[in-house]
Amino acid sequence: MSGDNRFLGLIYLSPFVIGLLVFTALPFIASLYLSFTNYNLMNEPVFTGLQNYIRLFTGDRTFRKSLWVTLVYVFTTVPLKLAFALFMAVILNYKLKFINVFRTAYYVPSILGGSIAIAVLWRYIFADVGLVNMGLTTLGFEPVNWFGDPTNALFTITLLRLWQFGSAMVIFLAALQSIDKTLYEAASIDGAGKWTSFVYITLPLITPVIFFNLIMQMVQAFQEFNGPYIITQGGPLKSTYLLPIYIYDEAFKRFDMGYASAIAWVLFLIIMALTLIAFWSSRHWVYYAGDKRS
Amino acid sequence: MTDHILSQNSPAAHDIDIARSRETRRHRLNAVLRYALLTAVGLLMLYPLIWLIGASFKTNSEIFSNPGFWPENPTLDGYIKGWKTSTPYSFGTFFLNTLWIVIPKVIGTAISCTAVAYGFARFDFPGKKILFAALIATLLLPNVVTRIPQYLIFRDLGWLDSYLPLWVPSALAGDAFFVFMLVQFLRAIPRDMEEAARVDGATTWQTLIFIVVPLLMPALISVCLFQFMWTMNDFLGPLIYISSVDKYPISLALKLSIDTTEAFEWNRVLAMSVLSLAPALAVFFLAQKYFIDGISSGGIKG
């Protein structure tokens, strides 16, 4: 309104502005500074230049292992989860009765999956004599040593994430349902098969949602903590020792705040770099309806 | 209409009928395959949860010998002994602690996010673009990078081992996701009613309370429900900030129980896991519409 003070909007924003400055901006800068210091909570932080980073990249074998495990985890979990979520969304996107029942059932793990109770459950079902191995033996297979073998242990953590495909699926399904059906009719009159229609109509039209899900799932996967912390405690042989757990241990068990901040910054820069690559490459593969570019 | 005429008069009607019944059969087969796959995946997905409920009524020896749902000798032992816990406090204390974390946090989130979203969606002011860009940046900023200094700030404020570090950032619209979701929702609501109210002399504050909030209600309910779920599930926050057992929420209490009793008392841990999931499940089934709407419209993480 014309009579309003032009700063009126800022009054409504004031909680956000205070929160942004005190709990986001200040900590963001402070953690960059801390990453160049030696700080163990007892004394004041001592500026040590690049020492933390040099130690990370030259002398720290735990860091190298942890970084590798994190990358393997993210680059297997995120594509598998997105592909499975999209596949199930395509199956669901059909004139089916009970579609809401299935959608709800698949969404339940996403609601509960982050909880400690589910991580505890995972420990029990993948235990040596747990539910999964009981099932395998019943079907005549050899039981698998899930937590004793490094590859298998990481796989149980990945499965916990895959199990929560429901949230990504619901987003895919909403996008699929919003596609104009006449496009498919036109394509089938022109002789296009199901698969051709999917590749040339469906996929391009849902690229914005694929992009959104990709960024969100990636940022989350890089910060996975509860699963490996509860289920495998980072083991065996640090095969599930993801970077967030390493950061937690350095900061809140060894109280090496400077070094932990340096690891956090490396993780942050990796996430940022991959996000920027995704944004940059999106110009070539994400299609926005009404956009003249493509 | 044309189909109808064709099938009566044309000599090709018979062929068309055959083609059509083949088509219908193909559709039916397609539907059957889809149902079969959907049911199989659904059972596979939900069986761990179903097994969990059954196992919580089993004896300790049966948990790792019976893959079925139904307990052979059903017992409430796990619930009764698990409720007492290995600490001086009962699980009831941990439930109340959780509620005491969750409820103020949800209320603070709802109020602050509504005000901030209203400010973004309905006002022009200097610096708006920069602040909105900051909101989007916060959305993408991984928490891991701000966690350590936040801990130091709360330590200096003397807030460690209290719920303040869990409440205050949310009460200052710290969950950018919710603000963003509400802004998107508000932008899609026409402003006619608000403008009419302003012409009649209502202040922006009155307009917000009496006109915007009622219209915003569906989105606001989604926000509250998601915040409820995430806070119930939150583990890392309490792990860092809460150190006294008498202030533990259920997530920390469960972690404590697997550390102390897991070696032999599995059914207690499973029984308490079931109880800790129950509120979230109940809320989800009562209000699933808001979850699905919230996630498919606002694009919420999950």
Q: Tell me: the pLDDT tens digits for A142-199? A: 888 999 898 899 999 999 999 999 989 988 998 898 888 888 888 888 888 888 888 8
Q: Which residue of B has its CA nearest to A177?
A: B296
The answer to the question of residue B112 being in a domain is yes
Instruction: Give yes or no for residue B19 having a pLDDT over 60.
Output: yes
Determine whether the interchain pair B302/A20 forms a contact, defined as Cβ–Cβ distance below 8 Å: no
Q: Are residues B125 and B40 in the same domain?
A: no
Q: Which of B66-70, B285-289, B290-294, B297-301 has the lowest mean pLDDT?
A: B297-301
Determine whether the interchain pair B295/A118 forms a contact, defined as Cβ–Cβ distance below 8 Å: no
Contact between B122 and B186 under an 8 Å Cβ cutoff? The reply is yes
The answer to the question of residue B70 being in a domain is no
Q: For residue A116, give the nearest of B115, B229, B235 by CB distance.
A: B235
The whole-angstrom separation of Cα A192 and Cα A198 is 10
Alpha carbon of B167: minimum distance to chain A alpha carbons (Å) = 12
Note the pLDDT of residue B287: 85
Q: Are residues B113 and B258 in the same domain?
A: yes
Q: Are residues B22 and B126 in the same domain?
A: no
pLDDT band, residue B12 (cuts 50/70/90): low
Q: Are residues B138 and B194 in the same domain?
A: yes
For residue A220, which residues of chain B lie inside 8 Å, CB to CB?
301
Q: Which two tokens stand for residue A242?
A: 């993801």
DSSP three-state, residue A47: strand
Give A70's DSSP letter: H
Q: What is the mean pLDDT of residues A88-93?
A: 90
Query: Tell me: the pLDDT tens digits for A251-266?
Result: 999 999 999 999 999 9
Q: Are residues B184 and B43 in the same domain?
A: no
Contact between B181 and B219 under an 8 Å Cβ cutoff? The reply is yes
Note the pLDDT of residue A265: 96
Contact between B79 and B56 under an 8 Å Cβ cutoff? The reply is yes
Q: Which residue of A has its CA nearest to B269?
A: A120
Q: For residue A15, give the nearest of B134, B144, B173 by CB distance.
A: B173
Top pLDDT among A195 and A291 is at A195
Instruction: Give yes or no for residue A1 having a pLDDT over 80.
Output: no
Note the pLDDT of residue B263: 61
DSSP three-state, residue A38: strand
Q: Which two tokens stand for residue B71?
A: 């307990």
Note the pLDDT of residue B92: 92
Query: Tell me: the pLDDT tens digits for A270-290?
Result: 999 999 999 999 888 888 765
Note the pLDDT of residue B3: 47
Alpha carbon of A135: minimum distance to chain B alpha carbons (Å) = 7
Most confident of A102-106, B3-7, B165-169, B181-185: B165-169
This model of the complex carries an ipTM of 0.89
Instruction: Give yes or no for residue B2 having a pLDDT over 50.
Output: no
Q: Which residue of B has its CA nearest to A19?
A: B172
The whole-angstrom separation of Cα A217 and Cα A206 is 16
Top pLDDT among A5 and B133 is at B133
Note the pLDDT of residue B178: 92
The answer to the question of residue B270 being in a domain is yes
Handedness of CA B107, B110, B114, B116 (dihedral sign): positive
pLDDT band, residue B298 (cuts 50/70/90): low
**Single-letter amino acid, residue A210:** I
Instruction: Give yes or no for residue B6 having a pLDDT over 70.
Output: no
The closest alpha carbon to B131, from A213, A30, A219, B123, belongs to B123
Q: Which two tokens stand for residue A54?
A: 């040099």
| Domains of chain A (ranges, CATH numbers) | 60-285 (1.10.3720.10)
DSSP three-state, residue A237: coil
Q: Are residues B41 and B85 in the same domain?
A: no
The whole-angstrom separation of Cα B167 and Cα A128 is 41
For residue A116, which residues of chain B lie inside 8 Å, CB to CB?
233, 235, 250-251, 254-255, 276
Q: Which of A64-73, A189-198, A259-268, B286-295 has the lowest mean pLDDT?
A: B286-295
Contact between B139 and A16 under an 8 Å Cβ cutoff? The reply is no
Give B247's DSSP letter: G
Q: Are residues B45 and B183 in the same domain?
A: no
Q: What is the mean pLDDT of residues B9-29?
A: 74
- Interface residue of A92, A93, A108 to substitute, partner B, most B CBs within 10 Å: A108
Note the pLDDT of residue B87: 84
Note the pLDDT of residue A113: 83
Q: Which residue of A has its CA nearest to B201?
A: A1
The answer to the question of residue B64 being in a domain is no
The answer to the question of residue B60 being in a domain is no
- Show which of B13, B39, B55 is a domain's final residue: B55
The closest alpha carbon to B163, from B252, B68, B241, B73, belongs to B241
The domain that contains B222 carries what CATH number?
Answer: 1.10.3720.10
- Show which of B55, B70, B96 is a domain's final residue: B55
Instruction: Give yes or no for residue B194 having a pLDDT over 50.
Output: yes
Q: Are residues B186 and B275 in the same domain?
A: yes
Q: Are residues B127 and B203 in the same domain?
A: yes
DSSP string, A126-167: TSTTSHHHHHHHHTTPPP--TTTSHHHHHHHHHHHHHHTTHH
Query: Tell me: the pLDDT tens digits for A122-137?
Result: 998 998 888 899 889 8
Note the pLDDT of residue B271: 92
Determine whether the interchain pair A109/B144 forms a contact, defined as Cβ–Cβ distance below 8 Å: no
Note the pLDDT of residue B7: 46
Query: Tell me: the pLDDT tens digits for B126-160?
Result: 899 999 999 999 988 889 999 999 999 999 999 99
Query: Tell me: the pLDDT tens digits for B77-89?
Result: 889 988 988 888 9
Q: Which residue of B has its CA nearest to A25?
A: B146
Q: Which residue of A has its CA nearest to B154?
A: A23
For residue B143, which residues of chain A lie inside 8 Å, CB to CB?
223
The answer to the question of residue B41 being in a domain is yes
**Single-letter amino acid, residue A112:** L
Note the pLDDT of residue B23: 76
Q: Residue A236: is the preceding peptide bond cis (ω within 30°)?
A: yes
For residue A94, which residues of chain B lie inside 8 Å, CB to CB?
30-31, 34
Alpha carbon of A120: minimum distance to chain B alpha carbons (Å) = 8
Contact between A157 and A240 under an 8 Å Cβ cutoff? The reply is yes
Where in the sequence is the domain holding B242, given as residue range(s)?
80-298
The answer to the question of residue B63 being in a domain is no
The whole-angstrom separation of Cα B249 and Cα B240 is 12
The answer to the question of residue B142 being in a domain is yes
Alpha carbon of A114: minimum distance to chain B alpha carbons (Å) = 6
The whole-angstrom separation of Cα A40 and Cα A63 is 19
Top pLDDT among B237 and B62 is at B237
Q: Are residues B172 and B87 in the same domain?
A: yes
Query: Tell me: the pLDDT tens digits for B242-256?
Result: 999 999 999 999 998
Determine whether the interchain pair B280/A261 forms a contact, defined as Cβ–Cβ distance below 8 Å: no
Q: Are residues B98 and B51 in the same domain?
A: no
For residue A21, which residues of chain B lie inside 8 Å, CB to CB?
none
Cα-to-chain-centroid distance, residue B302: 7
The closest alpha carbon to B67, from A49, A146, A130, A265, belongs to A130
The whole-angstrom separation of Cα A107 and Cα B218 is 20
Structural domains counted in chain B: 2
For residue B240, which residues of chain A lie inside 8 Å, CB to CB?
252
- Interface residue of B34, B63, B105, B148 to substitute, partner A, most A CBs within 10 Å: B148
Alpha carbon of B120: minimum distance to chain A alpha carbons (Å) = 7
Buried b (16+ CB within 10 A) or exposed e, B152-187: bbbeeeebeeebbbbbbbbbbbbbbbbbbbbbebbe
Note the pLDDT of residue A138: 87
For residue B274, which residues of chain A lie inside 8 Å, CB to CB?
117
Determine whether the interchain pair B240/A117 forms a contact, defined as Cβ–Cβ distance below 8 Å: no
pLDDT band, residue B258 (cuts 50/70/90): confident
The whole-angstrom separation of Cα A228 and Cα A231 is 5
CA torsion B93→B166→B245→A112, rounded to 10°?
60
pLDDT band, residue B29 (cuts 50/70/90): confident
- Interface residue of B144, B170, B205, B290 to substitute, partner A, most A CBs within 10 Å: B144
Note the pLDDT of residue A127: 87
Determine whether the interchain pair B63/A168 forms a contact, defined as Cβ–Cβ distance below 8 Å: no
Instruction: Give yes or no for residue B34 having a pLDDT over 70.
Output: yes
Q: Are residues B189 and B279 in the same domain?
A: yes
E strand segments, chain A: 37-38, 46-47
Q: For residue B292, give the nearest of A7, A103, A260 by CB distance.
A: A103
Note the pLDDT of residue B301: 42
